[in-house]
């Protein structure tokens, strides 16, 4: 019977993958401890490596690469100018081998290192390429080559401010995307040329490819966005690079210009440079939440999103090439704010669309290439484009906000260094930063990193036109910003670079996903388990049958792998949801404001309003509900007594009231109720004769209590 039920559950799981509704277990107690559970269980958290540094401005752990021959991870930090060389074990744990310090390399003494921005490993070359910027932002940067152990080989010139480095698939070329930002402003400073550097490892020649041949008129005709009256040679700022499968073309994002360029490596010439157009937020499924009113309200707005992608990747599906972009958005803000006329910005803020707080949007007059209307930074999404025509094939629309709002409703649109409900709604929302693809079996997936909200989304893009959500993992502890938490204690913050190790190369035997987190200075390691047979973790539990009943009745959840986490503390909010579902309550019937740490429009708020109205459970004097806290056994006795009495569920006594050996530890406020639930057979003590009044109630115990209520 149990085996048939598990199989039936697995079939049901396979039918709901395209849905954004909560099909599986939601995350754990993320305000009391660092969350390590994914939404649906396909993303299996393994460990987090810590560099030992954290910084609210980021730049600590930015880009990660992997050496499959040795199982080495290379993690670059711009803040410390170090590269951590880390060994990953078969269980997903890590061990630091060494820290590579470029500043101590004798051969690099002629370089005044300003920032170490990126690292890449290539198996053919059997070594590393590292992007190094000069301290003087106007000077050309460098490509540093090392062997796989971090020993110096050579270095070559690059363009100004190399921000990303990568190898061509065959290992012959090293390319850098050189931003050339005007970091001291346009008035007092200089706007260096943006470029790509192409280093031919066979000839040892490095060549910078500029945009000198692209006229201003042609750039605007092709849909690029330019600074008012600027020239493309200075204004275009390459951000990130991806190669075609055959290595003949390199695709580069031009973030501030809302475009993508395709470079023919053999000819060293641009095949195309095009704008991406705009995202219409007035269309169904393309909405967003712009209003910082402590309510999750994702809706259509008469605004256009300017994609401005950061990360990009290329994938071939069905003999057709596609580009994927992470539509972050980026403002131009340069110069000294304290010097009149020296500071430049292309954004402003106003209370648009009835918002309670100012919304950030582009100044139309500061840019060429924008028409009439309101233009917002980024798309809060990832997109799939035809690599040849650059026509959009798919966009995830408003799904990132819907998914994160469902899973973390009381911290929706948080910042990466400060956790607060709707902290980023009026700016760029969850802020997709990076995107990579991987293939496993006959399926193709996209992994998208969310810089502000944190964590990674995984989508199945096997059919690019019908890409759909699979899972979300956010290894984070959410602590309100007014508590002034220590960044190093909050998990993995500020997802930046992502690298996926194939099943064939992974030490764990499953696709391994590595995520560099630039605020916390950590690296997340997780494996992909989709396709695995469910492996329930409750089959040996004393509460196996009640757990199965709770799952079958939809009162509690397990994840896609059948994991129920029976010994974990049951959260206050989960208890309310279970009781509400037992009563057939619909959250929308009780929608409205409840407690200040619950989003008004969330299902959680509706269920809590029901429980509050029925007198089952209350919040705290400070106006919070603290739904992510566990509930003690004596608190549960109070809730159960209220439930059976106030909802007319009274049950006759089945047990004799007997004192527990720790009776004196039960609070006077709960003493009578503990006795009543004992008499009614709803909740009894432990096998050693104790009650454990202050112990947190486990999920297995809640399943047993629900079973008792249903009898």
pLDDT at 700 over 90: yes
pLDDT in tens, 568-609: 999 999 999 999 999 999 999 999 888 888 877 778 889 999
Q: What is the pLDDT of residue 11?
A: 29
Distance between CA 587 and CA 275 in Å, rounded? 44
Closest CA to 102 of 123, 87, 117: 117
pLDDT average, residue stretch 227-239: 96
Query: Using CA atoms, how far apart are residues 450 and 40, in angstroms rounded to an integer?
Result: 18
Local confidence band at 409 (pLDDT 50, 70, 90 cut-offs): confident
Does position 22 have pLDDT exceeding 70, yes or no?
A: no
Residue-level pLDDT at 5: 37
The separation between CA 99 and the C-alpha centre of its own chain, rounded to angstroms, equals: 27
What pLDDT, on the 0 to 100 scale, is given for residue 682?
A: 94
CB 686 within 8 A of CB 692: yes
Q: pLDDT tens, 166-199? A: 999 999 999 999 999 999 998 777 999 999 999 9
What is the pLDDT at residue 518?
96
How high does pLDDT run on average in the chain?
A: 92
For residue 316, how many other CB atoms are within 10 A of its CB? Answer: 15
pLDDT at residue 15 tops 80: no
Q: What is the pLDDT of residues 598-622, one digit of tens each?
A: 877 778 889 999 999 999 999 999 8
pLDDT of 298 higher than 90: yes
Sign, Cα dihedral of 196, 130, 490, 446: positive
Q: In this predicted structure, what is the pLDDT of residue 531?
A: 83
* pLDDT value at 29 more than 90: no
Q: Considering only residues 504 and 486, tell me which one the structure prediction assigns the higher pLDDT.
A: 504
**pLDDT exceeding 90 applies to what percent of the chain?**
83
- Residue 306, pLDDT above cutoff 70: yes
- pLDDT at site 13: 30
Per 3-state DSSP, what percentage of the chain is helix, strand, and coil (rounded to 5)?
A: 20, 30, 50
Instruction: Name the 3-class secondary structure at 503.
Output: coil
pLDDT band at 364 (very low <50, low <70, confident <90, very high): very high
Side-chain-side CA neighbours of residue 386 (13 Å): 7
Look at residue 16 in the predicted model and tell me its pLDDT: 29
Q: How confident is the model at residue 26 (pLDDT cuts 50, 70, 90)?
A: low
Angstrom distance (rounded) from CA 650 to CA 117 = 66
What's the pLDDT score for residue 640?
A: 96
- The pLDDT assigned to 600 comes to 77
HSE (side-chain half, CA atoms, 13 Å) at 244: 17
- Model confidence at 12: pLDDT above 70: no
390: confidence class by pLDDT, cuts 50, 70, 90? very high
Is 440:368 a contact under the CB 8 Å cutoff?
Answer: no
pLDDT, tens digit (0-9, with 9 covering 90-100), for 131-159: 999 999 999 999 999 999 999 999 999 99
Query: What was the pLDDT predicted at 484?
Result: 73
- Do 175 and 188 form a contact (C-beta atoms < 8 A)? no
Q: Is the pLDDT of residue 56 over 60?
A: yes
For 639-651, the pLDDT digits (tens) are 999 999 999 887 8
3-state secondary structure 151-212: CEEEEEEEEECEEEEEECCCCCEEEEEECCCCCCCCCCCCCCCCEEEEEECCCCEEEEECCC
Q: Is the dihedral of CA 544, 546, 549, 551 positive or negative?
A: negative
pLDDT tens-digit map of 421-465: 899 999 999 999 999 999 999 999 999 999 999 999 999 999 999
């Amino acid at each position: 019977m149990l085996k048939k039920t598990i199989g039936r559950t697995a079939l049901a799981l396979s039918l709901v993958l395209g849905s954004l509704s909560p099909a599986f277990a939601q995350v754990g107690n993320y305000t009391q401890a660092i969350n390590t559970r994914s939404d649906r269980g396909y993303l299996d958290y393994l460990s987090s490596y810590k560099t030992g540094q954290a910084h609210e401005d980021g730049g600590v752990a930015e880009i990660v690469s992997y050496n499959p021959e040795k199982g080495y991870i290379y993690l670059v930090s711009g803040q410390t100018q170090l590269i951590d060389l880390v060994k990953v074990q078969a269980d997903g744990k890590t061990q630091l081998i060494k820290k590579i310090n470029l500043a101590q390399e004798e051969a690099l003494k002629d370089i005044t290192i300003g920032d170490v921005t990126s690292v890449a490993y290539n198996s053919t070359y059997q070594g590393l390429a590292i992007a190094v910027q000069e301290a003087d932002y106007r000077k050309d940067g460098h490509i540093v080559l090392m062997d796989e152990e971090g020993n110096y080989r050579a270095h070559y010139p690059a363009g100004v401010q190399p921000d990303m480095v990568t190898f061509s698939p065959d290992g012959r070329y090293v390319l850098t995307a050189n931003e050339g930002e005007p970091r001291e402003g346009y008035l007092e400073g200089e706007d260096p040329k943006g470029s790509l550097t192409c280093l031919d490892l066979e000839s040892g020649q490095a060549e910078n490819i500029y945009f000198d041949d692209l006229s201003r008129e042609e750039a605007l005709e092709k849909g690029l966005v330019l600074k008012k009256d600027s020239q493309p040679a200075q204004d275009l700022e390459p951000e990130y690079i991806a190669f075609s499968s055959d290595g003949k073309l390199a695709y580069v994002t031009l973030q501030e210009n809302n475009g993508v360029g395709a470079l023919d490596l053999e000819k060293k010439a641009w095949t195309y440079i095009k704008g991406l157009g705009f995202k219409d937020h007035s269309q169904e499924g393309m909405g967003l939440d712009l209003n910082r009113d402590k309510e999750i309200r994702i809706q259509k707005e008469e605004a256009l999103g300017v994609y401005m992608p950061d990360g990009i990747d290329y994938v071939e599906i069905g003999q057709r090439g596609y580009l994927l972009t992470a539509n972050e958005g980026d403002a131009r803000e340069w110069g000294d704010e304290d010097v009149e006329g020296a500071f430049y910005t292309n954004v402003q803020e106003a209370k648009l669309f009835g918002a309670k707080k100012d919304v950030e949007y582009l100044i139309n007059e500061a840019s060429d290439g924008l028409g009439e209307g309101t233009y917002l930074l980024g798309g809060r999404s990832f997109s799939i484009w035809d690599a040849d025509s650059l026509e959009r094939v798919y966009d995830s629309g408003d799904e990132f906000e819907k998914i994160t709002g469902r899973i973390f409703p009381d911290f929706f649109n948080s910042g990466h260094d400060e956790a607060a409900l709707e902290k980023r709604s009026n700016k760029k929302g969850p802020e997709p930063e990076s995107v990579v693809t991987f293939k496993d079996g006959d399926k193709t997936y996209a992994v998208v990193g969310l810089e502000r909200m944190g964590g990674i989304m995984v989508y199945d893009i096997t059919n690019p036109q019908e890409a759909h959500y699979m899972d979300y993992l956010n290894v984070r502890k959410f602590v309100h910003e007014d508590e002034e938490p220590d960044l190093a204690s909050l998990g993995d913050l500020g997802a930046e670079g992502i690298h996926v190790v194939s099943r064939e190369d992974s030490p764990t035997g499953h696709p391994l996903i590595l995520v560099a987190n630039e605020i916390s200075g950590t690296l997340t390691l997780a494996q992909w388990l989709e396709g695995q047979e469910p492996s329930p973790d409750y089959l040996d539990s004393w509460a196996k049958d009640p757990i199965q009943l709770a799952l079958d009745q939809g009162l509690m959840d397990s994840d896609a792998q059948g994991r129920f986490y029976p010994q974990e503390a049951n959260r206050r909010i989960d208890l309310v949801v279970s009781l509400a579902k037992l009563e057939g309550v619909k959250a929308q019937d009780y929608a409205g404001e409840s407690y200040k740490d619950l989003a008004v429009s969330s299902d959680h708020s509706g269920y809590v309003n029901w429980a509050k109205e029925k007198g089952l459970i209350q919040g705290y004097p400070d106006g919070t509900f603290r739904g992510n806290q566990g509930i003690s056994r004596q608190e549960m006795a109070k809730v159960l007594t209220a439930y059976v009495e106030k909802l007319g569920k009274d049950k006759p006594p089945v047990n004799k009231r007997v004192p527990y050996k720790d009776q004196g530890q039960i609070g006077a406020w709960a003493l009578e109720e503990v006795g009543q639930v004992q008499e009614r057979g709803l909740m009894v003590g432990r096998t050693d004769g104790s009650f454990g009044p202050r112990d947190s109630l486990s999920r297995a115990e809640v399943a047993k209590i629900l079973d008792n209520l249903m009898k």
